[in-house]
Amino acid sequence: MSIRTIEWKNNYIRMIDQTKLPQKLVYLNIKDIESLWQAIKLLKVRGAPALGGAAGLGAYLGIRNSRAVNYLQFEKELGRVCDYLASSRPTAINLFWGLERMMRVSQANKNKSILEIKKMLFKEAQMIIEEDRASCRQIGNFGEKLFCDNDSVLTICNTGILATIDYGTALGVIYRAQEVGKRLKIYACETRPLLQGARLTTWELKRKNMDVTLICDSMAASLMQQGKIKKVIAGADRIAANGDTANKIGTSSLAILAKYHKIPFYIAAPVSTFDLNIKSGKEIPIEQRNPAEITELFFKNRVAPRGIKVFNPAFDVTPNALISAIITDKGVIRPPYLKNICSYLK
């Protein structure tokens, strides 16, 4: 049975509520942009590429009932919708990229009727989704060549079907390697605080009958020391022009540990994740999240004293020097990144 992370269905956005996994596979019908904003904020839908899809569908959802009588009025409404959705989470570039793409389509068709523009926007949102599906397949095709039969692979967070429209980025590479006959052993970091690795990655990999072992984030060094990890692969939320990569908190730690143990460390992401407007990772805004994510396990069990100070960044930045290669839908980019990213993305 195939699953759909996010799609347009019966006149609404339909998405898996990822906060309910692995206990229950529950779908949500999102009927207004306020609900979508909440769903993004609370990580009911997450993963940079999936947020690109949510941006397209969300922009359309926000203006499809617009009563604007002229283009200026319509554009203003669409701008408000996009600004609002953009305020949900600051780090993943795909969200902004998707919203901007919708704005551009509107502007490019300003001479058409409002009804016509709405249709174009719907088509664009669907195109973002179809393109993501195709680009994940391409990432898989390019990336699987870096893996060998019997490799044991460490990964963090969730970068699979649930983080994209379909298939995945880092997990897409793993799925593709498996499809071409390479047997991989996967170690999944649980990914504190919200446990996307424990809850989502193990669930996805188990569904596909893959060999997956769950570990706490703090156990990666121990496995590497014992020679049990041959490759590390992670996704990305934003990649700067020099290759510095923002991804789930804990990723840069794995990259340093991999360097120390001389293990290749790969990033897998579609080109929509690159932000060539920023020169280095220092410029990437890092989302700080609710302390209760750490002090109360899923807002149910308090594990730290009340009033304790907490540092809870959702992402960290892995310096380009620690990345062996960036696997994209246009090919595998190797250092020097400043030069090579530019030529691949042209």
Q: Which residues are catalytically annotated? A: 237
Residue burial 54-67, b: 16+ Cβ < 10 Å; e: rest: bbbbbbbbbbeebe
Q: Considering the complex, state which of residue 19 and residue 66 has its C-beta at the smaller distance from its own copies.
A: 19
- If the CB atoms of residues 112 and 261 are measured against its own copies, the closer one turns out to be 261
Smallest separation, CB 180 to its own copies (Å): 24
Q: What is the DSSP letter of 181?
A: T
* CB closer to its own copies out of 319 and 331: 319
Binding site for its own copies (CB under 8 A): 22-23, 187, 189-193, 195, 198-199, 202-203, 206, 211-223, 225, 249-250, 252-253, 256-257, 259-260, 294-295, 297-298, 300-305, 307-313, 316-317
> Whose Cβ is closer to its own copies: residue 104's or residue 302's?
302
User: Residue 193 CB, nearest distance to its own copies (Å)?
Assistant: 5
- DSSP bridge partners of 246: 238, 317
Task: In whole angstroms, give the CA distance from residue 232 to residue 154.
Answer: 5
Buried b (16+ CB within 10 A) or exposed e, 184-215: bbbbbbbbbbbbbbbbbbbbbbeeeebebebb
DSSP 272-288: GGEETT-SSGGGS---B
Q: Least distance from C-beta 300 to its own copies, angstroms?
A: 6
The nearer residue to its own copies, 77 or 296, going by C-beta atoms, is: 296
Rounded to the nearest whole angstrom, what is the least distance from the CB of residue 254 to its own copies in the complex? 9
Q: CA distances (Å), 160 to each of 22, 116, 205, 208, 261, in order?
A: 14, 35, 9, 11, 26
Say which DSSP state 288 is in. B
Q: What stretch of H or E contains 334? A: none
The contacts of residue 105 (CB under 8 Å, 6+ apart) are 117, 120, 121, 124
Residue 310 in tokens: 């907490």
CB of 317 to its own copies, least distance (A): 7
